[in-house]
Amino acid sequence: LASQFTHRYKIYIEGSAWSVSEKYILACDSMTLVVTPKYYDFYSRALMPMQHYWPVRDDSKCSSIKYAVDWGNSLKQKAQGIGKQASNFIKKELSMDYVYDYMFHLL
């Protein structure tokens, strides 16, 4: 996991099923490019595009990713800010107190 903290950008894209990796990718302080998911985790609907991640259009992934990387390379502090906000979100919202609270209200 530590080697994942060295990249400026991360891409989150689902395969044919739900993926557990979203929270780990978002926690890395890197700007995350998220292809619109089909499946959602209990916390993911609270994530805000352009605040916690960069949305990638499903119908034009390559050009959307290229645009995001070009934008991030020209505005590095803003890109780093998006990554940091995502990391802070994961640390706060996925604390065990909140997870237990979610489970309590769900059950």
Tell me: pLDDT of 78 over 80: yes
> 104-107: which pairs have CB atoms within 8 A and are 24 or more residues apart?
106/42
- pLDDT digits 0-9 by tens, 31-55: 999 999 888 888 898 999 999 999 9
Question: According to the model, what pLDDT value does residue 62 have?
Answer: 95
Break the chain down into helix, strand, coil percent, rounded to 5.
50, 15, 35
Structure confidence at residue 1 (pLDDT): 59
The confidence band for 2, taking pLDDT boundaries of 50, 70 and 90, is low
Q: How many helices (H) and strands (E) does the chain have?
A: 4, 3
Please give the share of the chain, as a percent, with pLDDT higher than 70: 95
